[in-house]
Amino acid sequence: MSAKPTLEVQNLHVSVEGKSILKGVTLTVNKGEIHALMGPNGSGKSTLANVLMGHPKYEITEGKILFHGEDIAEMSADERARKGLFLAFQYPIAIPGVSVANFLRMALTARRKEMGHEKPLPPKEFRALVKEKMALLKMDESVAARYINDGFSGGEKKRAEILQMAVLRPEIAILDETDSGLDIDALRIVSEGVNALAGPDLGVLLITHYQRILNYIKPQFVHVLIDGRIVKSGGAELAHELEAQGYDWVRDTQAA
């Protein structure tokens, strides 16, 4: 019997305040795969990211979200995170009063418990783990003592998100427009961090408006979301075609 897909979205229809946003999205992301989801502004990309992580303002009107075959649509965002789903936000929020290190320690303890480890990682091992992952992302170690995203630059916020991903080791990471607001140096460092973490134990769904980040993170699969539907899927070459011809090209080929 074949293993169930890691993350499977089946005919997902989603509304916000009575307005239909997603209109039948079907998508499968397995560990070891990198998928890019592209589309113009307003196509429903961030809605999909938020729904996958369980944001309460979105209403699923039809379809399923399965994680290892288990329907997680009724689970809270916290439950989904403990199971191994991770979302890097387009606009990470600040949490004054909670240091990066303390947040990571709490989140890692909850994730480890879900994975069958009853005890937290010993402090010395935890500090070594955080130090190693910060070096990977070229982050100053002093960031660990700062409050989460409080006074962080755009690049620091995005690196802090990837740091969380590195420490928590999710099975599926959803990166929602991680490239937005980054200069070229920060984009390269964040991309190198994602590439260093990618492998057989991690599946990535990279949501982006532009092809730019795909120069650094190479997807095996590219999907185009327009007006709440995935209208075209292909390999990495599809992103280059979009860069050259724009989203109207996809609309035109669909209409033809």
Total-model pTM: 0.90
Would you list the DSSP string of the chain?
-PPPPSEEEEEEEEEETTEEEEEEEEEEE-TT-EEEEE--TTSSHHHHHHHHHT-TT-EEEEEEEEETTEE-TTS-HHHHHHHTEEEE-SSPPPEEEEEHHHHHHHHHHHHHHHTT--SPPPHHHHHHHHHHHHHHTT--GGGGGSEETTT--HHHHHHHHHHHHHHH--SEEEEESTTTT--HHHHHHHHHHHHHH-BTTBEEEEEESSSGGGGTS--SEEEEEETTEEEEEE-THHHHHHHHH-HHHHHHHHH-
Tell me if 165 sits within 8 A of 88, measured CB to CB. Answer: yes
CATH number of the domain located at residue range(s) 7-255 in this protein? 3.40.50.300
Per residue of the chain (256 residues), give pLDDT as tens: 457 899 999 999 999 988 999 999 999 999 999 999 999 888 999 899 999 999 888 999 999 999 999 999 999 988 999 899 998 877 777 888 999 999 999 999 988 988 888 788 999 999 999 999 999 888 899 999 999 888 988 888 888 888 999 999 999 999 988 887 788 888 888 888 888 888 899 999 999 887 888 889 999 999 999 999 999 999 988 988 888 888 887 776 665 4
**For position 8, what pLDDT does the model report?**
97
Domain boundaries defined on the chain: 7-255
The half-sphere exposure of 126 on its side-chain side, counting CA atoms within 13 A, is 19
Residues 87 and 49 sit within 8 Å (Cβ to Cβ):
yes
Q: What φ, ψ does residue 119 adopt, rounded to 5°?
A: -100, 145
Question: Strands 203-208, 172-176: parallel, antiparallel or unpaired by DSSP?
Answer: parallel
Collect all residues with Cβ–Cβ distance below 8 Å to 112 and sequence separation of at least 6: 120, 121
Lookup: tokens for 6: 């890691």
Strand partners, 95: 148
Q: What is the pLDDT of residue 256?
A: 47
pLDDT of residue 33: 95
